[in-house]
Structure 1
Amino acid sequence: MTNPLKGQYHSHSLTKNFLPYAFYALLPIALFRMYFHPFSFPQSTPDQLPHNNSYILTSSSSSKEEEIANETRCDYTNGKWVHDKMGPLYNGTTCGTIKDSQNCISHGRPDLGYLYWRWQPSQCKLPRFDPNTFFHLLSNKHIAFVGDSMARNQLESLLCILATASNPNLVYRDGEDNKFRRWHFTSHNITVSVFWSPFLVRGVEKSKTGPDQNELYVDTVDERWGADVDHIDTIVLSIGHWFLHPAVYYEGGSVLGCHYCPGLNHTEIGFYDAMRKAIKTALKTIIERKGANGYGIDVFLTTFSPSHFEGEWDKAGACPKTKPYKEEEKILEGMDADMRAIEVEEMEAAKVNAKQFDGLKLEILDVTKLSLMRPDGHPGPYMYPFPFANGVHERVQNDCVHWCLPGPIDTWNQILLEVIRRWNIQSTREESKEHPMLARF
């Protein structure tokens, strides 16, 4: 590209005449770049700004590199819950998308202290979710949540946050319990969908009239969401709890084994390997389908969310705690750690596979530890409206798996948005290096 300022070394007159034309020639290019790759801006509240905010540039080259590194990388896995007087991001009594059994406030939960905590990562700050930043970054895009009821729980959290700034219009719903739904934000042409797919792969869920076990085909993706991948720009996968149920697994057209299937002539193999294969199949399908057509996609895999039953879930097990665990009170171990490890390992392997294609970004949404520390965030008995209105019952069913809305699960979406924002910053800087003239505008 010819340097538009070259004429200044020959003649002052030529420079004076040429510069205005150069400016008007570059202006539409700059506007074009800013429209398709907009700059991100930090949160306006000072105590919510990311650590070592890279928007404040210094004259030192090494300092710039350090700031860029801090701005684009952060481990949200480790940290602690700290008290936050600002409270929740939205009012649960006015958000129309919350599933009734997770609407703890409207169901009369009396203790509201669980709403006043925020996750503080060890290496950086996690900004409070700003709906306008989300709208800015995902304008004209489609984000889909795919998986089990935890995917739906996270989706409803996001919708409630966004509804504080713009009204989501429900444009599609289908299936029992509204398991397939789609919303549209006309203000920014953003589509938000949820796909019920508790295993990610093709399966037959057990029922009263069907088999006593789930039947899973671990090498075949569930096309109820797979068929729409070409029209999705950001996908958030979430599975785990349904793999604890009895199941028979199929691979390559034959029985692979089963998990808890007494009376059937199948090899007991547990559920860990089947879950690993299901995740591998889902990620591989997304990468190949999006990579083959040349379109990019952002892929997130939300890690396993531990439950907090004190006792057996079906034998009056409850989650009565009203505060988060402290660091020394709870460690990640056992099944919770194993489920998370499988998801992290498969995502890392998928990242390697995705390198053969352009435009694919994959990241683990590691929420296992931060969720483990929040035994106070579940509906508990308030999965039902005012469960103790007529006095204390001998036994009240508790939900210690899903999360109250508002509640700790809102943090999952804060991390999701922050990762997308940091990706945008990194992409913008890389493009500025390739086209330095555009970086001046």
Structure 2
Amino acid sequence: MVTFNSFKDQTLFLTKKFLPWTLYILLPFALLRLFFSPLPFLPPPDSNLPHASLLTIPSLSPPPPPPPSSSSDFTAEEAGAKQASISPCDYFNGKWFRDRRGPLYNDTTCSTIKHGRNCIAHGRPDLSYLYWRWKPTQCNLPMFDPQAFLQLLINKHLAFVGDSMARNQLESLLCLLSSASTPNLVFQNGEDSKFRRWIFPSHNLTLSIYWSPFLVKGIEKSSEQNYNKLYLDIVDERWASELGQMDLVVLSIGHWFLLPAVYYEFDSVLGCHYCPGMNHTEIGFYEVLRKAFRTALNNIIERKSAKGEAIDVTVTTFSPSHFEGEWDKAGACPKTKPYRKGEKELEGMDSDMRKVEIEEVEAAKEKAKNYKYEGFRLEALDVTKLALMRPDGHPGPYMNPFPFANGGHNQERVQNDCVHWCLPGPIDTWNEIFLEMVKKWRI
């Protein structure tokens, strides 16, 4: 008679004998099932940014969760449907879509962010502006690859020439590249270090910024002189004299032409912009901007072609401001989301400034052909439309640290910056497109 205990002993014996073999048989099937039908990846709760744990954010204002998906979000299916066989891609028409990945850097991982652009460190509470990416209509715009950029420009000198928007773009590029390699500041000069140079020793890449808000010779306004003087037929030698050292140049100007100025050409007064009581003809600034670009681009072509030296030139088009109200009378940029496609049209001054720049780029290409100068490559980095759609990307009141500290909420007493861009921020997209242009040039 089999007792309960003997039955139990036999069961334990069979279990110990056959259970391992059962596991050995089932385990491969489980692995195959996992391989062909992987479990969905669930990111940790705080993984919204690649370096989210490093963000310097006030404890009372934690970073918001990534925006929920919506019909306006970009999907892989949409990418496949719209990836047309159109070459080259038009990177300048598209829309902004929500993206969980966030930027490559932040205020602690990049040490070169200018004080007035450091929106995170200055306590900006809404960080949703970090979670948008640009999607061209015809293709995909890859995220910035710092290693690829460094490798493409190994042993090269890239110079940014222009006003504070040129500096804004350069500082964005420095931060993007710093995520892969550390730059050394090797030169600085001028008020507010307007002339600076860095070297990335890992690739012997030199990056420089040349302050030249008109590209041509200019005497800037001062306490003794409340208007600018521009000499439209004379290039600014502060940058042009060093063209021989440059392999790539990015030109970016525009906003300084809106200020009062007197214009000279061939030793005579051509006219002025907003100069009441000076007995000069008011001629505005559009044709003046055209002449300045023409003088600058012609000088590049003439000097480089005379020496048989190659150079790549990019013109970053006008970047619109987003003041609601007058900039010097409590004008602000309070919006926290991009405009949807079609919600904001490019028109007025923004459109006219861009039009002049695009036309001068095309004219310079023709001039280079007449010179039979094959070492000159020129493209417009046409950011005007995509910049227009990002009213949320400016420092606004956070150009200064914690502007509403101590309970202060009087917007009328707080100065706003609605011209420049937060770092990180939308201007990083300028350099993502710039990298694609450099890739095309290096093929």
**In 2, distance between residues paired with 1:117 and 1:290?**
40
1:388 aligns with 2:390: no
1:231-250 matched pairs, under 5 angstroms: 231-250=245-264
Structure-2-length-normalised TM-score? 0.80
The residue matched to 2:406 in structure 1 has which SS?
coil
The residue number in structure 2 matching 1:74 is 89
* SS of residue in 2 equivalent to 1:299: strand
Partner of 1:109: 124
1:315-330 equivalences in 2 (<5 Å): 315-330=329-344
Say whether residues 1:84 and 2:99 are aligned partners. Answer: yes
Structure 1 residue matching 2:405: 3-state secondary structure: coil
Q: Does 1:411 align with 2:439?
A: no
Residue in structure 1 matching 2:277, options 239, 251, 263: 263
> RMSD of the TM alignment (CA)?
1.6
CA distance in 2, matches of 1:170, 1:328: 43
**1:126-162 deviations in Å (ceiling 9; x for gaps):** 1110011101110000000000000000000000000
Match of 2:380 in 1: 364
Q: Does residue 144 of the first structure (1) align with residue 193 of the second (2)? A: no
User: For the residues of structure 1 that align with 2:204 and 2:161, how far apart are their CA atoms?
Assistant: 20
C-alpha distance in 1 between matches for 2:441 and 2:222: 43
Alignment of 1:25-174 (within 5 A): 70=87, 73-174=88-189
| Equivalent runs, 1:177-326 vs 2, <5 Å | 177-209=192-224, 211-326=225-340
Contact 1:298 / 1:361 at 8 angstroms: preserved in 2?
Answer: yes
Q: Within 1, Cα distance between the matches of 2:106 and 2:341?
A: 29
* d(CA) in 2 for partners of 1:90, 1:96: 10
- What do residues 231-273 of structure 1 show as CA deviations (whole Å, max 9, x unaligned)? 1000000000000000000000110000001111111101111
Q: Shift in Å at residue 423 of structure 1?
A: 2.1
Letter matched to residue 381 of structure 1? P
| Deviation sequence 1:150-181 (CA, Å, 0-9, x none) | 00000000000000110000000000111000
- Max Rg structure: 2
Per-residue deviation, 1:51: 8.2
What amino acid maps onto 1:234 in structure 2? L
Equivalent residue, structure 2, for 1:29: none
CA distance in 2, matches of 1:201, 1:213: 16
Contact 2:109 2:179 in 1 (8 A): no
Alpha carbons 2:273, 2:283 under 8 Å: kept: yes
Question: Residue 294 of structure 1 contacts residue 358 of structure 1 at CA under 8 Å; is this kept in 2?
Answer: no
* Moved segments of 4+, more than 4 Å: none
**Aligned residue type for 1:116:** Y
Between the two proteins, what is the percent identity of the paired residues? 70
What is the Cα deviation at residue 354 of structure 1? 1.5
2:302 aligns to what SS in structure 1?
helix
Which of the pair has the greater relative contact order for Cα pairs under 8 Å at 6+ separation? 1
Give unpaired runs (5+ residues) of structure 1.
1-46, 55-65, 426-441
How much does 1:94 deviate? 2.9
Q: Choose from 390, 395, 403 the match for 1:379.
A: 395
Pair 254,131 (structure 1): closer, same or farther in 2 beyond 3 Å:
same
- Residues 104 and 176 in structure 2, CA contact (< 8 A), matched pair in contact too: yes
- 1:399: which partner in 2? 417
- Counterparts of 2:277 and 2:234, CA distance in 1: 26
Report the more deviating stretch, 144-153 or 414-423.
414-423
CA contact (8 A) 1:371 1:408 kept: yes
Query: Quick one: which amino acid aligns to residue 336 of structure 2?
Result: T
Q: How far apart are the structure 2 equivalents of 1:51 and 1:363?
A: 28
- How far apart, CA to CA, are the structure 2 residues paired with 1:123 and 1:131? 24
Residues 216 and 249, structure 1, Cα contact 8 Å, conserved in 2: yes
Instruction: Provide the secondary structure at the position in 1 that maps to 2:232.
Output: strand
Structure 1 residue 202: deviation in Å?
A: 0.2
Task: Say if 1:93 and 1:105, in contact at 8 Å, map to a contact too.
Answer: no
| Offset at residue 422 of structure 1 (A) | 1.6
Question: Is contact 2:129–2:393 with CA below 8 Å preserved after alignment?
Answer: yes
- Look up the SS of the partner of 1:335 in the other structure: helix
SS in 2 for 1:390: helix
Distance 1:212 1:111 in 2: 38
Letter in 1 for 2:322: H
Provide the secondary structure at the position in 2 that maps to 1:328: coil
2:386 aligned partner, one-letter code: L
Whether 1:348 and 2:362 are equivalent positions in the alignment is: yes
Q: How many Å apart are 1:212 and its aligned residue?
A: 1.8
- Could you give the per-residue CA deviations for residues 383-441 of structure 1, whole angstroms, max 9, x where no partner exists? 0100111123422110000000000000000010101102222xxxxxxxxxxxxxxxx
- Number of matched residues? 361
What is the one-letter code of the residue matched to 2:110? C
Q: CA deviation at 1:76?
A: 1.4
SS in 2 for 1:329: coil
Letter in 2 for 1:409: I
CA distance in 2, matches of 1:333, 1:319: 19
The match for 1:435 is: none
